[in-house]
Amino acid sequence: MEVIPGIDLMDGKSVCPVHMSFARTGVFSHNPVEVAKVWADQGATRLYLADLDGARMGDPQNLNAIPAILNAIPEGLRLDFGGGIRSLKQAKQVLNAGADRIVIGTTAALEEELAQEILDALGSRTIISVASLNGYVAVRDWQARTDERAEDFAKRMVALGAKRLVFTDVSRKGLHGGVNVSAVKRMAEAVPVPIIASGGVRNIQDIKALKKLEPLGVEAVVVVTALYSGTLTLSEALAAAQCEDD
């Protein structure tokens, strides 16, 4: 199972995922390149860049972070990028900037024809974001909710050609405790494509719990708050994710 550290971007800077001091962890910087270097040096081979401005405005705002990071770390690092991608043109711009994969959520949930167009054009380089709020699909930076169940949305996207999903239980993001393992399990069982779990990781036990779901198709986990707050180290997470023992 792959562990993917996340970097939240706003106004060209990396921002704290929660309101607390990260000075004691020695990893936080407002420079996304410096943060990326820390995770790469500790063994990360993929990062997830979340464009918070883009998600709010409906247009990617922090694309410059992609080439900046890749120029500083030219080998062995791949980037996923999500936030504000609302058209095929924008999706291609993100990939042309150097991202390995794009993540779309609101677009897929609200505009099926556009989701189909992006999936047809970009295939496996597109990750569909399934954000669940009380079991229903959350959209528009998770400020709104549709009437569609998360599992039903996931099945609909797979029918359109989605090759991979990232599943987030919105209620577990940030300071909220623990991965919703049962929800991740239900999602993995509902669709025949790989799942990336996101939201709620707080310690090594969460990594181990998700690792047990790997046979069901959980191939990776995005970790943000736990890494920056120091409740989990990347080396610990990588070791647990790669361990073959129970």
Cβ(36)–Cβ(7) under 8 Å?
yes
**How far apart are the C-alpha atoms of 104 and 86, rounded to whole Å?**
8
The number of C-alpha atoms within 13 Å of 108 and in the hemisphere containing its C-beta is 32
Which segments in the chain show pLDDT lower than 50? 19-26
Q: Which pLDDT does position 174 carry in this prediction?
A: 57
CA-CA-CA-CA torsion sign (232, 70, 93, 154): negative
Beta strands in the chain (DSSP E): 2-10, 13-14, 46-51, 78-82, 101-104, 126-133, 136-139, 144-149, 165-169, 195-198, 218-223
The fourth-level CATH superfamily of domain 2-242 is Aldolase class I (3.20.20.70)
Cβ(216)–Cβ(197) under 8 Å?
no
Q: Which pLDDT does position 144 carry in this prediction?
A: 59
What are the two backbone dihedrals, phi and then psi, of residue 148, each rounded to the nearest 5 degrees? -100, 135
Please state the domain extents for the chain.
2-242
**How far apart are the C-alpha atoms of 67 and 16, rounded to whole Å?**
22
Q: Which pLDDT does position 146 carry in this prediction?
A: 72
Q: Which pLDDT does position 116 carry in this prediction?
A: 96
Cβ(9)–Cβ(57) under 8 Å?
no
**How far apart are the C-alpha atoms of 69 and 66, rounded to whole Å?**
5
The distance in angstroms from the start CA to the end CA of the chain is: 14
Q: What is the DSSP string of 76-135?
A: S-EEEEESS--SHHHHHHHHHTT-SEEEESHHHHH-HHHHHHHHHHHGGGEEEEEEEETT
